[in-house]
Chains A and B, each alone.
Chain A
Amino acid sequence: MKNKDERIGGRMSRVDAQLKVTGAAKYFAEFEVPNLVYGVLVPSTITKGTIKSLDTKKAESAPGVLAVLSYLNAPKTPAYQTDEPSKTSSGRGPGMKAFHDNKVYFNGQPIAMVVANTFERATYAASLVTAQYEKSSHQTELKSNLDKGITPKSKSLQDYQRGKKDAYQTAPVKIEAEYIQPTEVHNPMELHGILAQWEGPDKITVYAKTQGVKMTQQVIADTFKIPKENVSVHSQFVGGAFGMSLRVWPHEIATILAAQKVQRPVKLVITRDQMFTIAGYRPHTHQKVGIGANKDGKFVGISHWANVQNSNYEEFTEATVGMTRFLYRSPNVNTTYRVVPLDICTPIPMRGPGEATGAFALESAIDELSYALNMDPIDLRMKNYPEKDPEQDLPWSSNHVREAYQLGADKIGWSNRPKEPRSKKENGMWIGYGMATGTFGAHRREATARAQLKADGTLLIQSAASDIGPGTGTAMVQIAAEVMGMPADQIKFELGETAFPYAPIQGGSATVASVGSAVHEACMALRQQLVELSGNALKKAKVDTLVYEEGRVRSPTDRSASIAYTEILKRNNLPMLEVTKEAKPGEEGKKFAMYSFSVHFVKVHVHPTTGVVRVKHAVAVADAGTIVNHKTASSQMMGGAVGGIGMALQEEAVIDHRYGRYINNDLANYHVPVNADIPDIDVLFVDKKDPYINPMGAKGLGEIAIIGMAPAIANAVYNATGKRIRELPITPDKLI
């Protein structure tokens, strides 16, 4: 009998659960290799300027120290002698050249690395390195530099206009407001770093914390101008990343240089405070939204401006204003996106990049408009539902957001929502309900999988995918089990190795759609071969009409005409059947607008005099096509909701602009939610197959899990208290 939980749509537990809970899963920092030594970074203590001199003598003579690497003595990086670094490996390489010159672009920038025979000795010696600087005046504050915003080069973020400009101003009912998103830091539990080991002059092995081993491989190969095949990257387990490992950072290149210098493998694990300064963040963003409607609620126009924190040495953009262009039917829409170069590290996508920030503005503004119109915020959104994508003028591949509104409203008890803000108390607390919509592109990229059916009846599938936590391996096993009609415990999926066939980065919620399609196609190809090798009886039937069950293939009509996969291999004298299949998107992306959608509902309590907000209940609804694994997908949605609670109520990385230094750069002072902050979270799925995106019909859900959660909470806080908080996080001081 087949176990339905092991198939697409099941609730299979993680294939690596036991490894993870027993500690047997090995993360990059846990690898030990012979002769390993340890690197520790020396951060700059000024924000902008040049290094006049660097005193490394004390550090060099400290116990156990092998080298102090800096721009003065680092081996030359081949690519940095010619190319612009940001052009290396299509923007995934480090935007700054590690130890290349004496320039300081931001406070905390690594200016040297101490290598010693123990981590503790390297740490101590790093404290002995001193630098003399030529300081320049710096700018780290977004607020006082908003006028310095520039239009990015990125094509998708050019000024956009549909219909008339700023038409909202002419509407009978309108809202115009500013919304502020502070800097957020990913802060996964696992610290960033790398272990680098040169195997020869042009051959290297690294253990990395990466969201794409092939990406890391390409960047290293390009940077050191060595053949790609000579770069081995291992990253089977990643302890959370949320986007911060979507590129190779300068400190990774620095570690590779250090390994070259000392001719020994070097391991670098950065510190928690360095996670704030040198490994990216969600950029601080000032937004303005203008939205106008007729009295019946029909939108007249939406305008959305965003000014986004950026570094001074390369361009980073994210789709902050993207959803405003297509989520609602509005005849007039214009969006403006500006990057504001500042003396800080470059941002990097953080879960729901752009859209999470943008949704806070757009979905708050729509909520504000609903009160101005005296309309239920769900009714207002329904009224402006676009039957097709108004930006691209294409039909949706699938869009069940209206069903998601209904499902969530029923589950949270939306009918209990007070119509008037600040009108209902429960146990002495103001109560409020809020909701908001989220959306993110349903992407699919090229990916390849290799499947090997062995003589013992087991199936091994390999692809160089990543698993930063969602349960990629589990979903892949389910897809294979579904196609092959095999029990899950006979199937193994391996990932995180450059030796495996190509898989894209795990970013932008595209892994199931991309790698899952490759697994699907590889298994389909295996089936085809099995049938061809099975003998005449089955060969006559069409491959698609045959039944694949319990490791056997049979005729749909004649149960006795059945043959085991192992028997087919045996009869053909084959030790193994192997296929490698590349899967890529076709023309569907040109014919359809493909997006995932989420709707978040929350009920909050707000203490009337202390301003403490507690989320009492959260409901997250996703329209993400077919749900391959309901258990891991629910966990992923819950994780996003928790991240959204952090974004709404707690997270803010604060810089003292006089010094350009972060002031709350540890986990005691940079708050992320603890268990006590998290209520019951109900996760609901529309669970309807997208007919066009891929064979499974699955759209991504990693990003939509968080997008919309923060405005749902802000809207609920307004409903509870009558106070509209437009600057995150919503801490008690803003509500008293």
Chain B
Amino acid sequence: MKAFQYVRANTAKSALEALAKDPSAQFIAGGTNLVDLMKRGVTAPDKLIDISRLPLNKIEKVANGVRIGAMSLNSQVADDKLILEKWPLLAQALNAGASAQLRNKATVGGNMLQRTRCGYFYDTEMPCNKRQPGTGCGAKEGYNRMHAIFGTSEHCIAVHPSDMCVALVALDAAVVVQGPKGERTIPFTEFHRLPGDRPEKDNTLGKDELIVAVTLPDSPYTQHAHYLKVRDRASYAFALVSVAAALELEGKTIKSARLAMGGVAHKPWRLQEVEKALVGKTVSEATFQQAAQQAMAGARAFEYNAFKLKLAPNTIVEALKMAAGLTA
């Protein structure tokens, strides 16, 4: 890889200052994705600002919820007592991602900012609008088995690879970011974006901003929540389709629901309309089938990923059944 400068920041402020001085610099936290991208020549920053030592790794109970520092490790969050008790869906999703070694290194903020695993993005000899705007999308008419079925554009059909983000979007998380002008909060549903005609832009984080925390509101989804990830091997594989399903039940009646999918779009795919339709219904296979059909409205497949049109609804039904306790 290209030689680069390395500086270490000790506070969020100094990190932002270092970035302001050198806009071509990039933050590095766990580096579990960035280092790969640098090795393959996908990205070649002149300077890395190491933010892994910033004091942003606390998981704190706050009024009406929890605040998870952006530097918290994936494994730390997954094992946290409070998270396990109040937001088990998040812990399940985290443990479904990557490998134990990677979860011990990857941070919450870094997980959100990981790039797509599209093969055309990784091979610098291939066309890819995300890597190099204007070169075209190699995947659209290429090998697109892992690719999106929702929200694609003619410029990009990549998916966001995170499991954690699927649970976070379902649980109404918000992203706290700090910039030169201070802090702002972005609802998780608005953090990642669809490719449109700017596929190089994965999210709405400003170039001069740093993620400092993720907050989760208190949730009733402690008993009936399930993260189901369907993948080609039992561990250490990206999702073909994943579903985060959470239900608030009164007897057999659904009081409220949360539902999101991974592996299907350029962003974690929250299904708010489906959630609304589930309210007041009785838990049953039929109810969930109906929800799954509704969820698939607008889906569009490509040559190698048509199976997702069937796998996605099947996985929704299965995840909802698991959440509701309808299957063993």
Contacts and interface: CB of A to CB of B under 8 A. Distances in A.
Contacts, number: 88
A12 to B, nearest CB: 33
Contacts of A427: 328
Contact of A650 (B142, B232, B315): B232
B123 A736 contact: no
Interface stretch (A198-206, A579-587, A671-679): A671-679
A659 B311 contact: no
B153 interface: no
A187 to B, nearest CB: 14
A729 B233 CA distance: 11
A675 B234 CA distance: 8
A328 B237 CA distance: 40
B35 to A, nearest CB: 13
B235 A663 contact: no
B141 to A, nearest CB: 8
A609 B125 contact: no
A399 interface: no
A48 interface: no
B310 A661 contact: no
Interface stretch (A120-128, A333-341, A560-568, A683-691): A120-128
Interface string A657-674: 011010110101101011
B72 to A, nearest CB: 23
A733 to B, nearest CB: 4
A649 interface: yes
Report which residue of A664, A668, A671, A673 has the largest number of chain B beta carbons within 10 angstroms of its beta carbon. A668
Contact of A661 (B126, B236, B238): B126
B234 A676 contact: yes
Interface string B177-209: 000000000000000000000000000000000
Contacts of B268: none
B119 A669 contact: yes
A45 interface: yes
Nearest to B3: A124
A649 B142 CA distance: 23
B148 to A, nearest CB: 15
Contacts of A650: 232-233
B145 A733 contact: yes
A661 B125 contact: yes
Given A669-B119, A676-B235, A733-B307, A654 B1 contact: no
A23 interface: no
Contacts of B228: 610
Interface in B236-269: 236-238, 240
Nearest to A128: B2
Nearest to A609: B314
Contacts of B9: none
A612 B125 CA distance: 34
A733 B240 contact: yes
Contact of B117 (A610, A658, A668): A668
A610 B236 contact: no
B150 interface: no
Interface string B300-314: 000000010011001
Interface string B122-143: 1101100000000000100111
Contacts of B99: 674
Given A663-B119, A732-B232, A124 B318 contact: no
B230 interface: yes
B233 A614 contact: no
A85 B109 CA distance: 54
B41 interface: yes
Contacts of A45: 125
A736 B310 contact: yes
Contacts of B18: none
Dominant secondary structure of chain A at its interface with chain B: loop
B323 interface: no
A124 B1 contact: yes
A656 interface: yes
B3 to A, nearest CB: 7
A732 B311 contact: yes
A656 B1 contact: no
Given A124-B1, A656-B143, A661-B125, A428 B311 contact: no
B328 A611 contact: no
Contacts of B314: 609-610, 736
Nearest to B127: A659
Contact of A610 (B126, B235, B311): B311
A123 B1 contact: yes
Given A124-B2, A127-B41, A661-B125, A614 B315 contact: no
A668 B307 CA distance: 21
B317 interface: yes
Contacts of B143: 654, 656, 663-664
A2 to B, nearest CB: 44
A610 B311 CA distance: 6
B126 A671 contact: no
A676 B98 CA distance: 13
A272 to B, nearest CB: 10
A189 to B, nearest CB: 15
B285 to A, nearest CB: 11
Nearest to B319: A610
Contacts of A673: 233
B327 A428 contact: yes
A428 B321 CA distance: 12
Contacts of B232: 649-650, 671, 729, 731-732
Contacts of B328: 427-428
B120 interface: yes
Contacts of A733: 145, 240, 307, 311
Given A731-B232, A732-B240, A736-B311, A656 B138 contact: yes
B211 to A, nearest CB: 24
Interface string A102-129: 0000000000000000001001100100
A10 B232 CA distance: 39
A127 B120 CA distance: 18
Contacts of A664: 119, 143
Contact of B142 (A611, A663, A666, A668): A663
A671 B146 CA distance: 13
Contacts of A666: 122
Interface in A629-673: 649-650, 654, 656, 658-659, 661, 663-664, 666, 668-669, 671, 673
B70 to A, nearest CB: 24
Contacts of A656: 126, 138, 142-143
Interface string A723-736: 00000010111001
A674 B235 contact: yes
Interface string B142-181: 1101000000000000000000000000000000000000
B240 A674 contact: no
Nearest to A659: B126
Contacts of A428: 327-328
B307 A736 contact: yes
B262 to A, nearest CB: 14
Contacts of B120: 663
Contacts of A671: 232-233, 237
B292 to A, nearest CB: 10
B316 to A, nearest CB: 10
Interface in B213-237: 228, 230, 232-237
Contact of A649 (B117, B230, B233, B317): B233
B229 to A, nearest CB: 10
13 contacts: A427-B328, A610-B230, A611-B230, A654-B143, A656-B142, A663-B120, A668-B238, A676-B233, A677-B233, A733-B145, A733-B240, A736-B310, A736-B311
Given A428-B327, A671-B233, 17 more contacts: A120-B3, A607-B318, A610-B314, A612-B230, A649-B232, A659-B125, A659-B138, A663-B143, A664-B119, A671-B237, A674-B234, A674-B236, A676-B233, A731-B232, A733-B240, A733-B307, A736-B314
Top 9 closest pairs, chain A to chain B, by CB: A676-B234, A733-B307, A609-B314, A663-B119, A676-B235, A610-B230, A677-B234, A663-B143, A45-B125
